[in-house]
A and B are shown apart, each in its own frame.
Chain A
Amino acid sequence: ARQVVRPKEKMTTSEEVKPWLRTIYGTSKELVTPTVIAGVTFSAKPEETPNPLKPWVSLEHDGRPKTIKPEIKKGQTKKGRPDYKTYFKTAVTHTYSYEDLKAHNMDPNQKHVEEEYIDEDDTYVSLNPVVRCTPDLYFNKGLAKDIRSEPFCTPYENSRWKVDHTYFVSWYTRFFEDVNSGEVADQVRVHLSYVKENPREKGNYKR
């Protein structure tokens, strides 16, 4: 005889995400409408007090979202939010002359070049809870796994996308830099195309 176990009810939240108000760029007010995609809430209202252990959303190899809860172990934060280093910063070089700095250990005719990284405008970027794609998260693809996957971080090559499932395609935004103008493309669009692979390309054709 086995104890009858009630299957757990699937948690469904009936609460609706409500629009919220914020002030950007100092004075202009803006209404932000959160959206929920594949269980991930985008443009959610930030918490009053910043929480270092706030869960964040990472992506599986095939692009499915997964929630990561940071932990504190031995005084260190494990699985914390990824550090984007300077990938989304703009590098500016300043050249200072002796007149500008009047440093005591500087020759009168010496020039000092300093590189400064300017943070990007995170007004809208901060509303995205999903990990952003940086070259650190690239993977190797191709038959010999020797081709970098730039600009994509997800999905990995040969992933299987199933019908009626939602997957995230993520790419490094600064990869699309216009050669002529040197500016990053402000708009992009995603394409899905059919391909036919011959046996050789599939890699199972030996002779």
Chain B
Amino acid sequence: YVLAPSKWDHTDLTYRIENYTPDLPWHEVRRVIADAFKVWSDVTDLTFTEVMNTKADIMIKFASKYHKDGYPFDGKGLILAHAFFPGKDKGGDTHFDEDEKWTINSNGEGVDLFMVAAHEFGHALGLSHSNEPKALMYPWYQGYIPDFQLPYDDTLGIQVIYGGKGPYVTFRPPARTTRRPNTGGYSTLAPPRKAPIDPCKGNFDAIAVIRSEVFIFIGKYFWRSREPKTILSSEPSTIHDFWYGLPDNVESIDAAFEHPTNRRIYFFSGNRYWIYDGNSLSNGHPRSGKPITDFGIPQDIEKIDAVFVWGFNKRIYLISNDMYWKFKESDEYIEPDYPRDMSIWKNVPIPVDTAFKFQDNTYFLKGKEMYKFYDMKMRVALNWPKSIEDFLGC
């Protein structure tokens, strides 16, 4: 068995079934889910209580393709389900691919919900995959097993984490704690900002390098300079005075970048975008903007936090909260298999305020903190973040 990096710090866990598959009667799904949890509670002191209307430790749902996390399902076959290791927000949450044919006690046809649920709950409790083919935590689906008993490998694994009871007790339970994880709501939006106008306080809406100049956007203002350390020596301009045709109801810019090949300038605000040639709207681009769904971004995404051209591969990336997308190489549509989870950009905080490429390096910003990214190692560089004050010469 292999342990995941996290575990629950309490043993009285709750779960909630957010929706049901049409493949099975709902009461059967509830029973199967309860039975799948029982697999784990039979060998530990863990308890699982279903709740109906409140946030639970383990949120369970059936979903298809993109479903608001960074791990879209792939249609029928291959990936059947996934779960998040214990933790805040999405931690413990378990998702089943609705494109599968879910069955109970199935022999051959369809996917047995109990077997998959029991496996996924192993992840939700803190177990990773095992290379023991007889183990429940073996990653490949083994089909329906009549009178299933949790194998020895999995029993030892879960008892290492939470202590045990039953035939294989090997480990004592760890000291209990009454602290519960933060089960507050999961928001896809950064908190609303009040229009700060001192760039040295951070909280940028967007930073972009356009025609070799650094542009800083905060609220309806922007500053520009070839040399960031002198950028505050001049007064800011307002976005509407300079970028002709930007509608009055656009009060701030969420993200901006200069396209690396067509040299056009893209602005994002809310769920719409505008394309500029210089400081005039591009020919034919409507003043009201276009929806970001044109790029293939899902409809439920309300804003783009950052867009940047990654120096490593010269590709365009869009970020919204804990998800990111990559444009296809030859056009302006997102690649399949996206969004992906922002954890790939190791140590970059989410949600980011903005991101930009400057002198061949990629920087992410949040608040007053600036994170230089180490492309080859795919993580924030050592000795970063640093205060934005250094960059701006505050």
Q: Do A and B bind each other?
A: no
